[in-house]
Chains A and B, each alone.
Chain A
Amino acid sequence: GDSVTQMEGPVTLSEEAFLTINCTYTATGYPSLFWYVQYPGEGLQLLLKATKADDKGSNKGFEATYRKETTSFHLEKGSVQVSDSAVYFCALLTGGFKTIFGAGTRLFVKA
């Protein structure tokens, strides 16, 4: 079945460091791909999305490119801030409109 695999955390970085969180997926067809962020004690917020191969989603300095050939959707940010500390979920939307989430990656950014 469809699934999402993302790198285990926690990831600890210093402020202004470069961030990469790897995400790969398995799916039939061509799913839409998402990154969601969950700040402590809060619900999910959509961070960015891409709906077809080679699309690049971007928001708040974060980027991810839909790579069909490697079935990947890695999240990157050039310079993280303390306020970026949160849990990041990679997800795909199946043809049946169900969202499949990865396990989540916790990011800690130190000042």
Chain B
Amino acid sequence: GAVVSQHPSWVICKSGTSVKIECRSLDFQATTMFWYRQFPKQSLMLMATSNEGSKATYEQGVEKDKFLINHASLTLSTLTVTSAHPEDSSFYICSARNPQGTTDTQYFGPGTRLTVL
């Protein structure tokens, strides 16, 4: 079946540095990818919708300059957390829409755990 991968699976960084997280659709081309954030023992909150070849659409309250999203190809979207701070520590999950499937075919990546010291 369709697989979405994320890299890295976990990362620890120092406060003030930037971290890039990759999301790849491995066996289909995804025109749309989504980025979610999950705090410990909480639900997933949609951060932004990433469309290939265009600017990402951010949800209300999400700082676009803080969380840079690039969807440069049909199989890759990246999320860069700029000038990370401890409060950015979270579990980041991406998902990809498979346009070849039914309209509600969405596949989730395994997530990336970010810890900012």
1/0 per position for B83-117, CB-CB distance to A under 8 A?
00000000001010100001110101111000000
Q: A43-B108, A43-B110, A44-B108 are in contact. Are A98 and B49 (CB under 8 A)?
A: yes
**Of residues 1 to 43 in B, which have CB atoms within 8 Å of A's CB atoms?**
6, 32, 34, 41-43
Which residues from chain A contact B103 at a C-beta distance below 8 Å?
97
Give the interface SS of chain A, mostly helix, strand, loop or mixed: strand
Asked whether A58 is an interface residue with its Cβ less than 8 Å from the other chain, the reply is no
Q: How far is the CA of A51 from the CA of B97 in the complex (A)?
A: 16
Residues of B within 8 A of A (CB): 6, 32, 34, 41-46, 49, 93, 95, 97, 102-104, 106, 108-111
Residues of A within 8 A of B (CB): 32, 36, 42-46, 49, 51, 89, 93, 97-104, 106
